[in-house]
Structure 1
Amino acid sequence: MSLAIATTQKQPETAIYRATIPAGEPWLMEVKAGQTLRILDLEGNQAVDTLFYSVANPKERYDVQRTLRRQNSVYLSTGSVLYSNLGQPMLTIVADTCGRHDTLGGACAQESNTVRYALEKRYMHSCRDNYLRACVHDGRLGKGDIGPNINFFMNVPVTADGGLTFEDGISAPGKYVDLRAEMDVIVLISNCPQLNNPCNAYNPTPAELLVWN
């Protein structure tokens, strides 16, 4: 898939919401239908692990299989529609200055850190821990609601034999992706704390969120 670079005229000073997610931390918020959410890579090569749920029915959630099957690509970029497990469009990527986002690498967890790296890595901070922390505080989501996620700005090429590799990112400071909500959605984010592979350039950094009406 070629990089589908597309910019937008939206200016940060006109956003109705603006917040910085600290390095390695979780975030949970709602975005209303018709609003545009921007995820901004402030310092470059920062993976932003993201899940989406319907506000009306949190059991309706982002479905990676439906999304990839309908667009016939394992990567997301401008024009990609994110579908729910009920077959409904949840969000559409309307602008993207990075050009490609991962859907297969998953979120780091105690188990994957142990298997991929070393037994002593099991206690390291992970995206799955972040998701659960945010869910506990919000109250609408639980452990069973955590499924396959999108890794915005993360570079996970598929090899010729069908394997996956974690590579240096293709993002840079100031790169962003804009998503238009097609329904009211809960946005659950882990600003990835991973230190064992180059998805964050071995140095997790902050990310910024902006919302426009």
Structure 2
Amino acid sequence: MQIDQQSPEWYRARYNQLRDRALGEERAERTGQGFIAMEEGAVLHRETVPGGWYWSTFVPRGQALRLINTAGNKGVSVMLWNADDLSERFNAGDTLKLQWTTRLSTGRVLFSDMGRVLASIINDTCGTSDTIMGGSTPSSNERNFGNAALRNTRNNMRLIAGKHGLDVRDVPACISFFSHVSVGADGGLSWVDGSVQPGGVVDLRAEMNLLVGVSNCPHPFSPDSAFAPGPIDVVRWQAPAPAADDLCRTFCEEAQRGFENTDPLFA
């Protein structure tokens, strides 16, 4: 019998099987890869992004972008587009659904809306990110800081998109690193205090040629009482080629299938 001709009970059992396997993977210790060092000779470009501002860059496949949370900001938002076809971009829903987790840290990947892998998280010293809320908006700034006119991630990403011939339809929900958002028993979302410290590092290895947008604005749930994000540092560098047992490429079956969809483009 074809998979699209199975009974509801079969689909339910299959779903539970996949869910239980994914939960086991998530709870298991993530082994097989330590922190990947960035050698000074591998550095290609450095930039400092002031608080509240944005920056964009092209990152070819095989290079990595390091985000350094120099001041311990509560949130740094990132958006990814396929630089060879800007209609393909990061999809937050698929990234969570395909990997059965909201815990995106070392070993996880960021999927596009076409089932391909845009980038891999090869280092994450903070271990906290948010792919549910998206970036800050004028309304979140009004709620948090009493001023809707402050700079925000939604408008920053729209400015980045406009500079590359895109418009608001090309700016979906982004991912916010250095953002520890917890889901309570009632399904509500809240910020976990004390979880973001200065000096945190996230490295994204490009698995496609990427256009990357970075917005240095606080997360919508930031507990700060004043809008005062400090500067962050970003570094584009040549990452080591992934080994056969690369953690991101082997962590789960869904990621493996994502790479099977991605790698033929560059064969």
Which TM-score tier does this pair reach, normalised by the shorter chain?
Answer: 0.7 to 0.9
Go from structure 1 to structure 2 and tell me whether the alpha carbon gap of 1:209 and 1:184 turns closer, same or farther (over 3 Å shift): same
Conserved in 2, the CA contact under 8 Å of 1:34 and 1:182? yes
2:156 alignment partner in structure 1: 130
2:131 alignment partner in structure 1: 103
1:185 alignment partner in structure 2: 210
SS in 1 for 2:189: coil
Conserved in 1, the CA contact under 8 Å of 2:133 and 2:220? no
Query: After the TM superposition, which of the residue ranges 167-176 and 25-34 deviates more from structure 2?
Result: 167-176
Give structure 1 stretches of 5+ with no counterpart. none
Out of 163, 171, 174, the residue aligned to residue 146 of structure 1 is: 171
Go from structure 1 to structure 2 and tell me whether the alpha carbon gap of 1:190 and 1:67 turns closer, same or farther (over 3 Å shift): same
Out of 52, 57, 78, the residue aligned to residue 29 of structure 1 is: 57
SS in 2 for 1:122: coil
Q: Give the AA of the match of 2:150.
A: M
Out of 88, 94, 100, the residue aligned to residue 122 of structure 2 is: 94
Are positions 1:80 and 2:105 aligned together?
no
Go from structure 1 to structure 2 and tell me whether the alpha carbon gap of 1:199 and 1:27 turns closer, same or farther (over 3 Å shift): farther
Cα offset, 1:94, TM superposition: 0.8
Q: Which has the higher helix share?
A: 2
User: What root-mean-square deviation, in Å, do the aligned CA atoms of Structure 1 and Structure 2 show?
Assistant: 2.6
Segments ≥4 residues shifted beyond 4 Å: 1-6, 193-196, 199-202
User: Higher relative contact order by CA 8 Å / sep ≥ 6: 1 or 2?
Assistant: 1
SS in 1 for 2:156: helix
**TM, length-normalised to structure 1:** 0.87
Cα offset, 1:31, TM superposition: 0.3
Go from structure 1 to structure 2 and tell me whether the alpha carbon gap of 1:178 and 1:98 turns closer, same or farther (over 3 Å shift): same
Out of 18, 36, 39, the residue aligned to residue 67 of structure 2 is: 39
SS in 2 for 1:198: coil
Cα offset, 1:62, TM superposition: 0.5
Give structure 2 stretches of 5+ with no counterpart. 1-25, 239-267
Superposed CA deviations along residues 75-128 of structure 1, whole A, max 9, x for unmatched, are 2100111110000011011111111211112111123445x458x633232111
Query: After the TM superposition, which of the residue ranges 121-130 and 82-91 deviates more from structure 2?
Result: 121-130
2:36 alignment partner in structure 1: 8
**TM, length-normalised to structure 2:** 0.71
Superposed CA deviations along residues 157-207 of structure 1, whole A, max 9, x for unmatched, are 111111111343522222101111110011011101569832698530111
Out of 77, 82, 99, the residue aligned to residue 54 of structure 1 is: 82
Cα offset, 1:141, TM superposition: 2.0
1:66 alignment partner in structure 2: 94
Residue identity (%)? 34
Q: Give the AA of the match of 1:80.
A: R
